[in-house]
Chains A and B, each alone.
Chain A
Amino acid sequence: MLGVGCAGRCGGKEASGAGPLSKEEARAIPGVVVFLSERAGQKDVWTVSPDGTETQVTRGPEDDYPGPVSPDGKSLLVVAVREERGLFFQQLRVQPLAGGDALPLHAPRARSRNASWAPDGSWLVAESDAQGFSDVVRLEPKPGVAEVRLTQVPQGCFEPAVSPDGREVAYVCSREGDPEVYVAKADGSEERRITTFHREDRSPQWSPDGRWLLFVSDREDRERLFLVRPDGSDLRAASAQSFAGDEREGTFSPDGQRLAYVSRSPDGLSRIWSVPVEGGAPVALTDGAHRDDMPAWSPDGKYLAFVSERAGNVDLFLMRADGSGQTRLTTAEAPDWLPRWVARR
C-alpha cells in the first residue's frame, strides 16, 4: 500500500470530551437508528441502538430502502425495489418496527419514492408514475385506498414534503424547463411558486416550526443550501458568506435552531457542519479528512448519527452535536448507510 492518505486510523481532532462515547452515555440517548445495510447481499433495513445492538428489520430478495419513520414511531416507510425479468419495480410499504409483515400501499411500479408523512400519520405524499411521468400524490397508509394526484405536470413534480402543521405540501416541478420549489395546500389547491431562477432549485424541506423552507440550488454554479420563507420571501444562503464546496444533505435539528449539513470538496472528501438557522458562522463537526455524510439528529437533538468511510468500510458513526465523542456504531464489512432516528418508546 502506498503511504499516502490514511492507512488504518486517521486522527480526527476531537473538539472536546476526547475519545468515543462511553457505553453509559450512548445508552442514555433516547432513540435507535434505522439504517440501510448491504451485509446480506441485497439492501435491507436494520436498526442499531446507540450501544451497538443490531436488529434486522427487513429480509428477502428485494432491496429495501428506509424511508421516513411514522409520526408515532411505530413503523417505517420502506421503498422496496425488485427486479423482475429485467424490469425494476418500486413499492412503498409500511413496515412495523416491532417486526412482522410489511403492508404494501400499491402495486409495484417504476416510480414510487420520496415519501413524507402528515404529522398525524393518517396520510402521506410521494412521487408516483401511476398516471404520469412523475406526480406528487397523496395516499393513505392502508391498502386499497386510491391515491390522489396533487400535481399534473407533464415534465414532472418531485420530492414532496408535508408541512409540520399538515396543511401544506412543498415540492419541486420542472414545468418551465428547470426545477422550481412550489407550495400548495394539502389537497393540491392554491399552488404558489416559491423560487424563480433559471438554474435548479430542489429538495425542499420544512423547518420544524414551519417558518423556513430549506432547499438546494446550483444558482452559484455549485450546489448550495438556501433558506426561504414559505411565502417566497427572505431567501438567503444557509451558510451565510462562508461556502466550503458543494453543500447537501441539510437537516434541521429537532428544535429547529440549527442545521447540520455536508460540504463536499473537489477531492471527493466530505465534511459535516452545523450552523444556526437564524444566521451565524458554521461550525465544522468532522475533520474533513474523510468522507463523512448523511448527518441525522437524535430525537433529543444532542447527538448526530452519520456515515463515514474513515475506517475503510462505509459505517455508521455517532457524535455529540458539537462534533466530540465520535464513535463507530456499526462494523459490518458491507456498507451501512442512510441513518434515520426513531424515538425510543
Chain B
Amino acid sequence: MHVFRKTLAATAAALALAACGPQPQPEAPAQETPAPGSPTPTENPSGSADDVAREVADVARRTPYELDALFAQAAKEFDVPVSLLKAYSYAQTRWEHIQGAEEFEGRPAAFGLLALRGDQVTEGAALAGVSAEAVRGEPLANLRAGAALLSKYAAESTIDRADLGAWAPLAARLSDVTDPGAQAQFIHGEVYRVLREGAGAFTPDGKVAVSLEGAEVEAKFALPRVSAMAAGPDYAASIWRPSPNYNARPSGTAVSLIVIHTCEGAYSGCWGWLTNSAAGVSAHYVVNESGSEISQLVRESGRAWHVGANYDCGLNGSTQCGLQGVSVNHFSVGIEHAGYASQASFPAGQIDASAKLSCDITKTHTAVTRDSYHIVAHGRLQPASRTDPGPNWPWSSYISKIKSFCGTPTTAIVVDSHQANNDASKAQVEMAGSWAQGTSAGYYGSGYYYASTEAVSAPFTFKFYLSAAGSKTISAWWVAGTNRSSAAPFIVNHAGGSTTVKVDQQANGGKWNTLGTFNFDAGWNTVQLSRWATEGFVVMADAIKVE
C-alpha cells in the first residue's frame, strides 16, 4: 500500500513540475504564425527536475485515457484478478494501447493494452463476443479478450481464483514467451514485481490513468536459474544470454553501422525469442523498458541476424559468405529495444542506457561515426521509411547523448556567438555596446558578430561553465579578411588573473586557432573579445572552444 502511495506521490510531484513546461494549447486558428517556439535554451536549462517532468509527460502521452474502470469491468466480467490484468498489461505495454508490427518473422504483431498476438486475438475475440478488429483497435475489447483467455486457462487448470500467486503459469501462457529462463524472468521480474511494488500513471490532464497498489504476493512459478549472471563479453554492463543465431562476419569487414530496432514486445519475450534457435533471428543486444538491464546475445565480432534475418551461409553450402557490402548484417551491430515502434514515447532510462551502449560500440568500432547516417533505424531507406523504431524515437537527443557519454562535449565546450546554438547550461554569450551580425562565408555555427575597433570597453563575452577547476586550452574561430584587426585582443579571465592574447584576424580564418592553455576555476568563466585595438579595422567574435 505505502509503496503505491509513494509512487503516486512522486508522480504527482513530477506532474506539477511538468505543468511548468509545455501545456496543451487551445486549438489555434488555421492561419497564424507558430507560437514563438518553446523557451530558448537560456530559459530552460536541462536538469534532473526537468528530466523527471519530461518522463511524467511522456508517460501521460502513453496513457491518455482513464483506464481503471475498463480494467475493473473486464476483470469482473471474467472473474480474473484486476491487479493481475493491470500488472500483465504494464509488463507488456506500460499501459499503452499499442498497434504492433511484425518484427521477427513467425512472431505475429502484438495489439492493444495486453499485447495480444495472432491466434490469441481471434480466440479472445470469440470468447469475449467481439470482432478481432475490435480486439486490435479498442482498449476495452482488448482487455475483455485477454481476461476471457485467462479465465479459460483458469477453468482448464482448476486453480484457486482467489490465490493471486496461482495465476502465474496462466500469465506465462498468455504471453508468447516459451524459453523457460525468459518465462521465469517475465513472471518474477516483470509481472509479479510490479504486483508487489505497485505502479501508477496519469493522463495528460492529471487524472489517474491506472493505479495498481503493491501487495504481498509470490508467483507460484519456477524461479529463474540461480546461476550467477555472466557479463556480456563486449559490454560489461550487460547480461550474457548467448544466442545460437549468428555466424562469422566476412573477414576484413569493418563495423560501420548501428541499427536501432524495437522488439514489438516486452523485454523477456524479446531476448527469449532471439535466443531460440528455431526463430532464426538475433541481435547483438536487447535493452529493457526502463534501461535497468541489457542482454548481450551475440558477440560484436559475430554477425547477428537482425536485418533481413536468417541467411546462414553455413546452411547454404558456405556459398556467398563473402558478399561484402551486400548485407547490412555484415557490417552492423543491432540493438533491440523492448517496446513498440508505435509507442508515443520512449522512457528516458531506456534511451540513456542504449546511448551508453552505442557509445561503447563506437569506441570499439571506430568506423561508426556518431551521427544519424551511421546510427540508423531498422530498414532506413531514404526517402522516409516507416519501420521501427518508429516516428517517436528521439533521434536528435539519442545521438547527442551518445556523443556526450563518449566525452565529446565534456572534453570540448564550443561557445558560439549565436546564442540559439549554445547549450545554455554550459555555454552563453553576452555583448556590450553595438556589435553587428555578419554572415560572410566561413563562420562557425550561424554567422558571427563584429565591431569596429575603437578605444572603448564594450567587449563580446564568451562564457563557459566548468563543473571542476582545471587546465583548459582555448581556441578561437573567425572569418579572415583584410579589414580585420591584425591584433584583435582576446582577454582570457582565468584563475591566475587575466591574459590578453592578440591575434591576427586577417589570416587563419575558418579554423580553430589556439589562444593558449590556462587554469580555470570551477563555475562560469569568461573569454572576452575587446575592440580596444588600432582603429580602422573590425574585430570578429565568432566562436571559441574550450578543451
Q: A residues touching B (Cβ–Cβ < 8 Å)?
A: 1-2, 4-5, 12-15, 65, 79, 81, 83, 85-90, 109-110, 113-114, 127, 129-130, 133-134, 154-156, 158-159, 172, 174, 177-179, 194, 196-200, 202, 218-223, 226, 229, 231-236, 239, 241-244, 246, 263-264, 266-268, 273, 281-284, 287-289, 294, 323, 335, 337-338
Contacts and interface: CB of A to CB of B under 8 A. Distances in A.
B227 to A, nearest CB: 33
Interface in B11-43: 22, 27-38, 41
Nearest to A289: B27
A152 B45 CA distance: 40
Contacts, number: 196
A252 to B, nearest CB: 16
Contact of B27 (A4, A159, A199, A287): A287
Interface of B: 22, 27-38, 41, 57, 61, 64-65, 137-140, 256, 305, 307-312, 316, 320, 323, 325-329, 331, 344, 367, 369-374, 381-384, 386, 391-392, 396-397, 399-400, 408, 412, 414, 416, 420-421, 423, 439-447, 477, 510
A287 B28 CA distance: 8
A177 B32 contact: no
B446 A235 contact: yes
19 contacts: A2-B140, A86-B312, A127-B382, A134-B373, A155-B367, A156-B256, A156-B374, A198-B408, A199-B400, A200-B399, A202-B372, A219-B445, A234-B439, A234-B447, A236-B439, A263-B34, A264-B391, A282-B34, A284-B31
B442 A133 contact: no
B37 A244 contact: yes
Contacts of A264: 391
B439 A177 contact: no
Contacts of A232: 441-443
A196 B34 contact: no
B104 to A, nearest CB: 13
Q: Which 6 A-B pairs have the closest CB atoms?
A: A86-B311, A244-B34, A232-B441, A243-B37, A242-B34, A13-B30
Given A86-B311, A244-B35, A281-B33, A268 B344 contact: yes
A220 B421 contact: yes
A134 B418 CA distance: 32
B30 A242 contact: no
A273 B256 CA distance: 36
> In terms of DSSP, what is the predominant structure of the interface of chain A?
loop
A100 to B, nearest CB: 24
Contact of A110 (B138, B311, B325, B423): B325
A228 B428 CA distance: 24
A335 B367 contact: no
B371 A179 contact: yes
B367 to A, nearest CB: 7
Given A233-B441, A267-B344, A287 B30 contact: yes
Contacts of A231: 441
A243 B36 CA distance: 6
A15 to B, nearest CB: 5
A87 B326 contact: yes
Contacts of B396: 200, 218, 221-223, 246
Contacts of B305: 86
A177 B369 contact: yes
Nearest to B97: A2
Nearest to A199: B400
Nearest to B30: A13
A322 to B, nearest CB: 8
A159 B22 CA distance: 34
